[in-house]
Amino acid sequence: MNMRLSDHYEERLPRYTSYPTAPNFTEIPAARHAAWLSSIAPDATASLYLHVPFCRSMCWYCGCHTTVAQRDQPIADYLTVLREEIGLVRQKLAQNLAIKHVHFGGGTPTIITPEEFSGLIALLRQKFDIGADAEIAVEIDPRRLSPAMIAALGGCGVTRASLGVQSFDAKVQKAINRVQTVEQTAAATEGLRAAGVRGVNFDLIYGLPHQTLDSCIETVERCVALRPDRFAVFGYAHLPSFKKHQRKIDEAALPDAAARLEQAEAIASALVAAGYARIGLDHFALPEDELVRAQRDGALHRNFQGYTTDPCDILLGFGASAISRLPQGFVQNEVVLGRHAQRVLGGELPTAKGYEMTADDRMRAELIERLMCDFEVDLSQIGARHKTRPDVLMRAAPRLQTLVADGVVRLDGDVVRVAEDSRVLVRAVASAFDAHLGSSERTFSRSV
């Protein structure tokens, strides 16, 4: 770990789960979105993302588009709209797309009833060609996972569950309004596995209020005793100007940059010591996991859900705020629930904004993805695929020379390689090739 440079590169940068990033999206008409859908090639494969933006209570650290629903009727109404939207999108497609991955995100997707979830899966299977080997993943709040829902998840063929843990420190849990016991997490993990959900992921967060090095390590120890297949470890992004509920968090209780880095590395070291392989910047997996094989084979990818084995270039997003990735670029749905419903029930795609990619964007997107996944990129290979000389790419990234001078990056001919002890700064390296950085007023999360 290059501790000397961590403070120097302490800045707010994108997580690069897409390029260009969402703050660069501008208004795109629904007609253009429809045209993009209708032009998808007959032999294309795709992934699906369904957003369920409801929780029973608000976790104060949350950065997602979600709302608190104490009653079931708003959720049922939303599902009616979601089903209509799925039908609208399917009408625009020229053929029944082959689907490799399905991901339910939130909010809390398991807030819907088991019957509603089963019906939604049945609709997706009716509208799309979901292969027998497709991964179906669901994000889960272990505090509110009933036996009936566990049975429904298993019965519907769900293959992966991502459980939010964050921290088992009671003081931290109280400070973020998310009290969750080890026993609740264990019961959810064991129940899901018994139901046939073969992959279980845990999400952890560092940089939370009152969090300490000791509590981070203790949380890891309690988690690894349950032996989840994967971990995703994220730094808390404190952006109270964008997420007003984060104002309930005492800023004085937040760890500083040095403490955040110590926490991140302590968690990483504890997971590696427990037998998990480090995947990219912030994921960890057991040695036999397909993520490990993908990283070894140079086949790792990065999308809105983080690191993945999903190779699909097409992602169809459904629900309020959901983002789709199409061959021509990105589109995002209306964020406000009422506006999303109004447009869908009016027979219109709920497109709010997006981005039409240029040839330069496609080149940079591939370059940045390889850096984020492999910690290195061969500019001659990228340039050859996009008809651009490596020296042109070098000149287009003036910040790269500073990174080289600081020892963060090493150049081996046309290969840009992040130094082993500076991998935590890979977002800073990726940003050197970001032509749009600074063109948006959006504030990103800390790079460390």
pLDDT tens readout for residues 286-301: 999 999 999 999 999 9
Exposed / middle / buried, residue 85 (Cβ in 10 Å: 0-12, 13-18, 19+): buried
In terms of pTM, does the model score above 0.85? Answer: yes
DSSP, collapsed to helix, strand or coil, labels residue 271 as helix
Element housing 244 (H / E)? none
pLDDT tens per residue across span 307-344: 999 999 899 999 999 999 999 999 999 999 999 999 99
Q: Do both 134 and 263 map to the same domain?
A: yes
Q: Which pLDDT score is estimated for 395? A: 86
Q: Is residue 38 part of a domain?
A: yes
What helix, strand, coil percent values describe the chain, rounded to 5? 40, 25, 35
Q: Do both 60 and 189 map to the same domain?
A: yes
Cα 25-27-31 angle, rounded to 5 deg: 120
pLDDT tens per residue across span 52-96: 999 999 999 998 889 999 999 999 999 999 999 999 999 999 888
pLDDT tens per residue across span 159-207: 999 999 999 999 999 999 999 999 999 999 999 999 999 999 999 999 9
Q: Do both 10 and 32 map to the same domain?
A: no
Domain range enclosing 313:
21-318
Q: Do both 36 and 71 map to the same domain?
A: yes
Domain count, the chain: 2
Please compute, for residue 407, the number of CA atoms within 13 A of its CA located in the half-sphere on the CB side: 10
Q: Do both 25 and 8 map to the same domain?
A: no
Q: Is residue 58 part of a domain?
A: yes
Q: Do both 288 and 406 map to the same domain?
A: no
Q: Do both 68 and 5 map to the same domain?
A: no
Q: Is residue 351 part of a domain?
A: no
Element housing 304 (H / E)? none
Last residue of a domain, one of 292, 318, 344: 318
Last residue of a domain, one of 318, 344, 374: 318
Q: Is residue 353 part of a domain?
A: no
Q: Which pLDDT score is estimated for 398? A: 84
Q: Is residue 430 part of a domain?
A: yes
Q: Which pLDDT score is estimated for 11? A: 72
Q: Which pLDDT score is estimated for 5? A: 53
Q: Do both 141 and 49 map to the same domain?
A: yes
Any bridge partners for residue 411, and if so which? 416
- Looking at the predicted structure, is the pLDDT value of residue 240 above 80? yes
* Mean pLDDT across 367-395: 94
pLDDT tens per residue across span 417-429: 999 999 999 999 9
pLDDT tens per residue across span 382-418: 999 999 998 888 888 888 999 999 999 999 999 999 9
Q: Which pLDDT score is estimated for 441? A: 45
Q: Is residue 332 part of a domain?
A: no
Cis before 107? omega within 30: yes
Last residue of a domain, one of 269, 294, 318: 318
Q: Is residue 345 part of a domain?
A: no
Name, in order, each residue with C-beta under 8 angstroms of 335's C-beta and a sequence gap of 6 or more: 65, 320, 321, 352
- Looking at the predicted structure, is the pLDDT value of residue 447 above 90? no
CATH number, domain at 260?
A: 3.80.30.20
243: which DSSP letter?
A: -
Q: Do both 144 and 253 map to the same domain?
A: yes
Q: Do both 159 and 211 map to the same domain?
A: yes
Q: Is residue 335 part of a domain?
A: no
Q: Which pLDDT score is estimated for 105? A: 96
Q: Do both 35 and 67 map to the same domain?
A: yes
Q: Which pLDDT score is estimated for 8? A: 54
Q: Do both 230 and 375 map to the same domain?
A: no
Which of the four pLDDT bands, split at 50, 70 and 90, describes residue 7?
A: low
